[in-house]
């Protein structure tokens, strides 16, 4: 991500952003990018509004134009009321929204977001998702990294799953789910009877802790078989497969530190 | 190659805006410091000192007070304050995501440190005039010279900031470099009272010595050929540390 933003030197190969080489045309690239860093680095010496004005100045945007954009962006991000409030007094969700507003101040052609909703409560996340979707609907290109797979599933048209710096799969979320996890998942507690029945049926299953997961296109049939053997002993649930299933199947369950 | 364009002013302006937002507290030191020093040292302790080289003691220390204030304001701005912006507030990270280069960020910080020194010298001037310890109009030269001297101390400070592992470690240059300079640069007593080797050391390695010499020449006024050597020393050192600070900072920040 930092190499795309022209902050870190590239370690090898070729890298072009917006058709320009990252080594020779850093300023041109940066002037057309919007960056939402993972770390909140708003300027604590200023209010929300002044943060946008000061940032606009780094792009060389004239004062009057900057003021107009800052007002519009505060309104867009629902921060009107916090206009003159210092950064320290803003909640986590407001800070993230303000950072997104800041990244839009130069009307970027490409918006790069690094974990945009990390550490936020559900309301704050949903508001940010709504704003990102409306940006996308206006035709903006967004590149985002996230560990929240529900976030990726909701926001992304195209998705790349990476592990240890290598691309594992690439595609639309729905396609990836269908391809790597199937339509549905049946989950049942791991009991001897359940395991025996699944073996009899010749159905493949994954082990996730104490839960058996069966990825299948015929969830009702599998569930019925399982209910017969373990009706009173273990709960059987059927749910649609998610990106999280894809991710865990592809990258394994061991902790990555 | 150092990559600096007009965008450097946006970094300087950021600090100027922040300074104005808290101007009340920022304006205290340049008004209060000279009054305290002049009363305690100049007119208190100074009553036991008839004159230094024929100069009344308060008049002798007045240019030193300006020099010290410029040194402190520029040095502390580009050590502790810059370190806070770089390390804790991540302000530098935020700026280099824009078309502003890392060189411009560091240069802007140093130019701001120099400006702060100049602001302090400007604010001190009326106080010193009120006490009748500086001559006019020559003392107006204190103001532009404060920018040059400020740039020198800002550059030295930024070099320390670039290599310091933590904010606490900045106490080393503050106490082992700045404080001795405060006392042994011809500030409160003439340099020639010291043993000769120490005099040479002060002239070679303590920038404040040269700053005090020039400020004293300005406020008396009494210019001597040796002042040209001091001026040259300051210009060369200011350019050297300016460039060195940018290079050291690149090494620290480009990862």
A24-35: pLDDT as tens digits: 899 999 999 999
- Prior bond of B221 cis (ω within 30°): yes
By the 8 A CB rule, do B58 and B133 touch? Answer: yes
Whether the predicted pLDDT of A253 surpasses 80: no
Superfamily of domain A32-156: P-loop containing nucleotide triphosphate hydrolases (3.40.50.300)
Cα–Cα nearest to A105, from B91, B66, B114, B94 = B94
Measured in angstroms, the CA of A41 and the nearest CA of chain B are apart by 5
Among the partner residues A5, A54, A60, nearest to B14 by beta-carbon distance: A54
Superfamily of domain A183-240: ACT domain (3.30.70.260)
* Domain definitions of chain A by residue range: 32-156, 183-240
By the 8 A CB rule, do A216 and A203 touch? Answer: yes
Among the partner residues A42, A43, A58, nearest to B98 by beta-carbon distance: A58
Residue B214 in domain: yes
Three-class SS state of A34? strand
Residue B75 in domain: yes
Measured in angstroms, the CA of A22 and the nearest CA of chain B are apart by 13
What ipTM was reported for this prediction? 0.90
Residue B2 in domain: no
Tokens of A151: 């976030």
Residue B84 in domain: yes
Task: Find, in chain B, the residue whose alpha carbon is nearest to that of A33.
Answer: B98
Tokens of A107: 């009307």
Q: Is B100 on the interface with A (CB under 8 A)?
A: yes
> Which alpha helices (DSSP H) does chain A contain, by range?
26-31, 48-58, 63-76, 92-103, 122-137, 149-155, 173-181, 192-201, 219-230, 243-251
Q: Is B98 on the interface with A (CB under 8 A)?
A: yes
> Which residues, numbered 21 to 40 in chain B, qualify as contacts with chain A under a Cβ-Cβ cut-off of 8 Å?
21
The per-type count for chain B, helices as H runs and strands as E runs, is 13, 0
Q: What value does the CA radius of gyration of chain B take, rounded to a whole number of Å?
A: 18
Tens digits of pLDDT across chain B (255 residues) = 888 999 999 999 999 999 999 888 888 888 898 889 988 988 888 888 888 988 999 999 999 999 999 999 999 999 999 999 999 999 999 999 999 999 999 999 999 999 999 999 999 999 999 999 999 999 999 999 999 999 999 999 999 999 999 999 999 999 999 999 999 999 999 998 999 999 999 999 999 999 999 999 999 999 999 899 999 999 999 999 999 999 999 999 988
Predicted TM-score of the model (pTM): 0.90
CA distances from A199 to A119, A125, A193, A222, B53 (A): 42, 42, 10, 12, 105
Cα–Cα nearest to A158, from A140, A170, A142, A141 = A170
Whether the predicted pLDDT of A90 surpasses 90: yes
Q: What value does the CA radius of gyration of chain A take, rounded to a whole number of Å?
A: 23
pLDDT tens, residue by residue, A177-227: 888 888 888 888 888 878 888 888 877 888 888 888 888 888 888 888 888
Residue B101 in domain: yes
Indicate the number of domains in chain B.
1
Domain that holds residue B80: 8-253
Pairing state between β A16-17 and A20-21: antiparallel
Q: Say if residue A39 is exposed, middle or buried (CB neighbours under 10 Å; 0-12, 13-18, 19+).
A: exposed
Cα–Cα nearest to B171, from B85, B237, B79 = B79
Cα–Cα nearest to A135, from A172, A170, A97 = A97
Q: Is A197 on the interface with B (CB under 8 A)?
A: no
Among the partner residues A8, A57, A106, nearest to B255 by beta-carbon distance: A8
CA distances from A159 to A35, A156, A226, A236, B105 (A): 19, 6, 34, 31, 35
Dihedral, CA of residue A60, residue A64, residue A66 and residue A68, to nearest 10: -160
The count of other CB atoms within 10 Å of the CB of residue A163 is: 13
Tokens of A196: 């025996």
């Amino acid at each position: 991500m930092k190499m795309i933003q022209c902050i870190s030197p590239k370690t090898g190969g070729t890298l072009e952003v917006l058709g320009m080489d990252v080594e020779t045309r850093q300023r041109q690239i940066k002037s057309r990018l919007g960056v939402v860093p993972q770390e909140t680095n708003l300027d604590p010496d200023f209010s929300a509004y002044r943060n946008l004005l000061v940032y606009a100045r780094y792009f060389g945007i004239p004062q009057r134009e900057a003021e107009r954009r800052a007002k519009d962006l505060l309104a867009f991000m629902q921060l009107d009321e916090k206009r003159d409030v210092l950064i320290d007094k803003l909640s986590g969700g407001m800070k993230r929204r303000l950072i997104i507003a800041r990244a839009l101040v130069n009307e970027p052609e490409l918006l790069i977001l690094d974990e945009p909703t990390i550490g936020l409560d559900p309301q704050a996340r949903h508001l940010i998702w709504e704003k990102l979707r409306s940006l996308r609907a206006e035709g903006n290109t967004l590149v985002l990294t996230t560990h929240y797979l529900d976030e990726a599933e909701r926001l992304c048209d195209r998705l790349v799953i990476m592990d240890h710096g290598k691309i594992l799969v690439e595609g639309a979320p729905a396609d990836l789910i269908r391809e790597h996890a199937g339509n549905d998942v049946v989950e049942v507690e791991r009991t001897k009877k359940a395991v025996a029945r699944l073996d009899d049926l010749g159905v493949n299953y994954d082990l996730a802790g104490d839960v058996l997961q069966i990825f299948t296109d015929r969830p009702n049939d599998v569930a019925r078989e399982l209910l017969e053997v373990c009706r009173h002993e273990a709960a059987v649930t059927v749910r649609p497969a998610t990106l999280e299933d894809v991710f865990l199947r592809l990258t394994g369950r061991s902790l990555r530190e | 190659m150092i990559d600096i364009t007009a965008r450097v002013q946006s970094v300087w302006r950021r600090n100027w805006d922040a300074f104005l937002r808290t101007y009340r507290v920022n304006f205290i030191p340049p008004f209060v410091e000279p009054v305290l020093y002049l009363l305690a040292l100049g007119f208190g302790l100074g009553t036991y000192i008839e004159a230094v080289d024929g100069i009344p003691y308060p008049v002798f220390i007045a240019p030193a007070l300006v020099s010290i204030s410029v040194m402190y304001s520029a040095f502390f701005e580009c050590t502790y304050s810059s370190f806070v912006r770089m390390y804790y507030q991540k302000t530098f990270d935020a700026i280099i995501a824009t078309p502003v280069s890392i060189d411009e960020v560091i240069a802007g910080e140093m130019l701001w440190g120099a400006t702060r020194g100049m602001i302090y010298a400007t604010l001190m001037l009326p106080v010193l005039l009120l006490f009748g310890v500086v001559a006019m109009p020559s003392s107006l030269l204190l103001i532009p010279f404060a920018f040059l001297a400020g740039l020198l101390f800002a550059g030295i400070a930024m070099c320390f900031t670039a290599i310091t592992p933590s904010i606490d470690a900045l106490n080393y240059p503050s106490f082992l470099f700045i404080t001795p300079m405060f006392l042994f640069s011809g500030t409160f007593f003439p340099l020639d009272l010291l043993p000769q080797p120490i005099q040479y050391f002060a002239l070679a390695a303590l920038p404040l010595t040269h700053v005090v010499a020039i400020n004293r020449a300005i406020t008396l006024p009494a210019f001597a050929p040796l002042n040209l050597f001091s001026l040259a020393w300051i210009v060369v050192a200011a350019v050297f540390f300016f460039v060195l600070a940018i290079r050291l900072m690149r090494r620290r920040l480009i990862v």
